Amino acid sequence: MDFIRKHGRHLSGVAFIVGFTLDYIFTPRIDNPYTPLILGGYLVIAGITILAVQLFERTGVKRPLFLWLISVLPATTQLIFGAMMSMLFVYYSRSATLSGSWPFMLLLGGMFLGSEVFRDRVRLFKFQLITFFFVFYMAMALCVPIALRELGTTPFLIAGGTSLLGTILFVKLVSVLSRKAIRESAPGIFVVIGGIYLLINVLYFSHLIPPIPLSLRDSGVYHSVSRDVSGNYTGVGEKLSWQVRYGLQKNMLHLSPGEPAYFYSAVFAPVAIKAPIVHLWEWEDPKTEEWSVLHRVSFPIVGGRDGGYRVYSKKESVFSGKWRVSIETASGELLGRESFNIVVSENSVFLQETVLK
């Protein structure tokens, strides 16, 4: 008990980091049947610990066991939130580029800071309810498309409505145990929850939230891509330098006049989900520095393969300059992007075959 009183203000932050680390290591595949159960279980346990603190404080019992529980339960709540956030972070960060993951990095940092800043019970209670809504929303946005076997706006709106209604009902339940806590916190809580709900919707319709549960597993630009009778893909391309491998330099594609360029991608989708994806071939105008879409190829993909559903597109009539291929959903959410320079010349280059997984 003395240790808790002395170091209690740091327990929530430590618990969050421990929960995040453990769950990051043991996160199952997104379409694992236990994934919704794990996320749902985390949410239920977090809710129970929040309710338990309010119940014990309402009773006013000063027994050592109750005092000890009141001391450790907030850290337990943060441990659960940390574990849940790590699962969500893994899934969402795998699903897109950094432009779709930055909100989670920001909110993860906000959660850790909140566990250190919000030390008194009233502010910590507000912080926990707001976090409860956020993780609820993000978990539903992940699980609803898998349950409905459908991607798009309708599953996202269902996820938002369900999490908002569920959080309101949870706050009502808390008010049964502690009207004082809700009376002190309700106005600020609902303003922030409404703001988060609005922000997530703005990010979604601005295509800044990853198109979960899809994820890009592999991509690359080649001189040629072929598929044999056994379904195996082979790419013929140039050997990548270490600068390209570590992102210090853009990939170079040296083509002879009239030679086409090929782009390969492997996109993972859960079993039973069918979702079209698009390869957008874009070229940067050196005068205006603006990107123009010169070629668009759409593919229907089928989920279930762990390495991702494999497709490739071909671009004829290429010319020297800066190019990129964006891998997007049919509604415009960005899954990934490969930037490269094309040099058209008569000079030959060393090519090598690569088995594409």
pLDDT tier for residue 4 given thresholds of 50, 70 and 90? very low
State the Cα angle at 257 between 251 and 262, rounded to 5°: 45
48, with CB counted inside 10 A (0-12, 13-18, 19+), is: middle
Residue for token digits 């209690």? 8
Q: What is the mean pLDDT of residues 181-197?
A: 80
Closest CA to 331 of 207, 184, 172, 194: 207
Residue for token digits 């379904």? 231
Residues 6+ apart with CB under 8 A from 228: 234
Q: What is the mean pLDDT of residues 225-232?
A: 89
pLDDT (tens digit per residue) in 76-98: 787 788 778 778 877 877 776 66
pLDDT tier for residue 217 given thresholds of 50, 70 and 90? confident
Q: How far is CA 225 from CA 39, 282, 349, 350, 355, in A?
A: 40, 19, 17, 16, 10
pLDDT tier for residue 2 given thresholds of 50, 70 and 90? very low
256 phi and psi angles, rounded to 5 deg? -85, 160
Beta carbons of 354 and 232 less than 8 angstroms apart = no
Q: What pLDDT, on the 0 to 100 scale, is given for residue 278?
A: 95
Q: Which amino acid, residue 268?
A: F
Beta carbons of 4 and 70 less than 8 angstroms apart = no
| Angstrom distance (rounded) from CA 345 to CA 127 | 60
Partners of residue 254 on adjacent β-strands: 343
Closest CA to 85 of 159, 37, 16, 145: 16
Domain edges within the chain: 2-205, 215-356
Comparing 260 with 15, the larger pLDDT belongs to 260
pLDDT over 60 at 64, yes or no = yes
Q: Which amino acid, residue 17?
A: I
Closest CA to 131 of 163, 155, 94, 100: 163
Q: What is the mean pLDDT of residues 44-72?
A: 74
pTM to 2 decimal places: 0.78
Tokens in use for 184? 């002190």
In CATH, 215-356 is 3.40.109.10: no
The crossing angle, in degrees rounded to 10, of helices 179-205 and 121-148 is 40
